[in-house]
Amino acid sequence: MTVFRSTILLAAIALLSGCAAQRATVFVHPEYDFGMVERVAVVSFENLSTEQGVAGYATRLFITELLAAQAFDVVEPGETARIVKDIGQAKAGELDLKGLKRMSDSLGVQAVIFGSVGEAAQLAGRSNSSHVVSLDARMVDCETGNTVWSAAVSLGGPGSFSRMMGVGESSRGDAVLRAVRKLVKSLLD
């Protein structure tokens, strides 16, 4: 009986370890005091994928996850967009130190978070489909202009379990949510 249970356990581990690919790269400034950050602005994520609307969705999920974690106060997205527009920078994700300081003064933030959606696609297999999502985000200190946190997360694609069982990610939204949660977790851990 023990050999049988061990065999079943090993088979289950082998199946589950073949789940969808996940990659993450994280940078955290070793000397930065995140305790001084009370309020942040999240600039609308840039969409580098071919999927329309995914960047706005990822931005809203990112803000919601930050608020749910009660880690920082988050500026209302409309106020952030208004200041970014007033600054007149060609690309919102590339504010210079002067623009960052203006955001800090106008919005009362200590840091600004920028992000992008690199990929959001559906992969169709013979009997199933799955979603691939790649997101990156970074937090920039408004006083110094230094990046104090940066992370890139890629996940999705059919794992061996999905291929064997004929199941995939239930929706693109679920895949984006899992990727956003990984980003936020890397910021808060």
Residue 166, pLDDT > 90, answer no
The pLDDT-based confidence of 125 (bands split at 50, 70, 90) is low
- Give how far the C-alpha of residue 143 lies from the chain's centroid of Cα atoms, to the nearest Å: 24
pLDDT by residue (tens digit) across 110-122? 999 999 998 767 7
DSSP β-bridge partners for residue 155: 22, 133
CA 129 to chain centre: 22
pTM of the model: 0.81
| pLDDT score recorded for residue 11 | 42
Model confidence at 82, in pLDDT bands (50, 70, 90)? very high
Gap between the Cα atoms of 177 and 167, Å rounded? 18
pLDDT (tens digit per residue) in 7-56 = 443 344 333 334 445 778 999 999 999 999 999 999 999 998 888 888 99
The CATH architecture of the domain made up of 19-188 is 3-Layer(aba) Sandwich (3.40)
Alpha helix ranges (H) inside 54-93:
54-69, 77-87
> Which H/E stretch holds residue 3?
helix 2-17
At residue 113, the 3 state secondary structure works out as strand
Specify the higher pLDDT residue, 167 or 109.
Answer: 109
Q: What is the pLDDT of residues 170-186, one digit of tens each?
A: 677 888 899 999 999 99
